Amino acid sequence: MSVIHLRRDGVSLMLNVGEIARVEHWGADLGPTLPELSLMHDAVPHSALDVPVALGLLPQASDGWRGRPGLRGYRKDLHGGVSGFSPRLRVEASSHTEFSASITQIDADLELRLQTTFVIHSGGLLEIAHTLENTGAGTFALDELAITLPVPSEAAEVMDLTGRWCRERHPQRHSIQQGTWVRSGRHGRTGHDSSLLLAAGTPAFANRRGRIWAGHFAWSGNHEQFVDNVADGRTVIGAAELFAPGEVNLEPGGSYTTPSYFAAYSETGFDGVTKAFYDWFRARAQHPKSARPVVLNVWEAVYFNHDLAVLKELAESAAELGVERFVLDDGWFRHRRNDHAGLGDWFVDEQLWPDGLTPLIDAVVSHGMQFGLWVEPEMINLDSDVARAHPDWISGPVRRQTADDRLPLEWRFQHVIDLVNQDAWQYVYNRIHAILSENNISYLKWDQNRDLLEMGHNSAPSTHQQTLAAYKLFDALKAAHPEVEIESCSSGGARVDLGILQRTDRVWASDCNDALERVTIQRWTQAVVPPELVGSHIGPRTSHTTGRTHDLSFRAITALFGHFGMEQDVRKIQGQEREELRHVIELYKQFRELIHTGTRINADLSDPSLELHGVVAGDGTKALFALSAQTTSYAEQPGRIRFPGLHAGAQYSIELLYPASTMPRPGVQGDVAIQRETPPWIESGATVSGRVLAEMGLPMPVLNPEHALLFGATLIE
Active site residues: 447, 511
- Report how far residue 292's alpha carbon sits from residue 660's, in angstroms, rounded to the nearest whole number: 26
Contact 421, 393 (CB under 8 A): yes
Does residue 318 interact with ligand DGJ by CB under 6 A? no
Pairing of strands 112-120, 485-488: unpaired
Task: Find the part of the chain contacting ligand DGJ (CB under 6 A) among 487-495, 551-559, 673-681, 696-704.
Answer: 487-495
Residue 500 and residue 220 in contact, taking contact as beta carbons nearer than 8 Å: yes
Q: How many residues bind ligand DGJ (CB under 6 A)?
A: 11
Which stretch in 273-281, 417-425, 489-497, 535-543 sits in contact with ligand DGJ by CB under 6 A?
489-497
CA distances from residue 116 to 133, 139, 519, 628 in whole angstroms, order as listed:
12, 22, 39, 45
Q: Does 330 bind ligand DGJ (CB under 6 A)?
A: yes
Among 256, 261, 281, 299, binds ligand DGJ (CB under 6 A): 299
The percent helix, strand, coil of the chain (3-state, each to 5) is: 20, 30, 45
| Nearer Cβ to ligand DGJ (20/382) | 382
DSSP 501: G
Q: How far is the CB of 374 from ligand DGJ (least distance, A)?
A: 6
511 part of the interface to ligand DGJ, by CB under 6 A: yes
- Cβ proximity to ligand DGJ: between 274 and 491 the closer is 491
- Residues 82, 141 contacting (CB under 8 angstroms): no
Q: Which of residues 416-475 bind ligand DGJ (CB under 6 A)?
A: 447, 449
List, in order, residues 6 or more apart from 178 with CB less than 8 Å away. Answer: 229, 230, 231
In the complex, minimum distance from the CB of residue 165 to ligand DGJ, in angstroms, rounded to a whole number: 9
Considering only residues 597 to 636 of the shown chain, the ones binding ligand DGJ according to CB under 6 A are: none
Q: How far is the CB of 300 from ligand DGJ (least distance, A)?
A: 8
**Closest distance of CB 566 from ligand DGJ, Å:** 13
| Type of residue at 217 | F
Residue from 580, 577, 639, 583 nearest 606 by CA: 639
Q: Cβ 133 to ligand DGJ, closest distance in Å?
A: 40
> Of 252, 232, 248, 230, which is closest to residue 240 (Cα–Cα)?
248
Among 374, 443, 561, 652, binds ligand DGJ (CB under 6 A): 374
Taking CB under 6 A as the criterion, the residue among 84, 150, 492, 690 binding ligand DGJ is 492
Closest residue to ligand DGJ, based on beta-carbon distance:
330
Q: Which of 329, 487, 580, 655 binds ligand DGJ (CB under 6 A)?
A: 329
Q: Which residues contact 547 (CB under 8 A, 6 or more apart)?
A: none
Residue 489, interface with ligand DGJ (CB under 6 A)?
A: yes
Q: Per-residue b/e over 69-106, b at no fewer than 16 CB within 10 Å?
A: bbbbbbbbeeeeeeebeebbbebeebebeeeebebbbb
User: Dihedral angle at the C-alpha atoms of 487, 488, 491, 494, nearest 10 degrees?
Assistant: -150
Q: Is the peptide bond before 659 cis (omega within 30 degrees of 0)?
A: yes
Binding mask 638-677 for ligand DGJ (x = CB under 6 A): ----------------------------------------
Report in angstroms the alpha-carbon separations of 363 from 259, 351, 352, 609, 693: 43, 20, 17, 45, 49
d(CA 488, CA 356): 25
Instruction: Round to whole Å and give the CA distance between 625 and 643.
Output: 8
Which residues contribute to the site for ligand DGJ (CB under 6 A)? 299, 329-330, 374, 447, 449, 489, 491-492, 508, 511
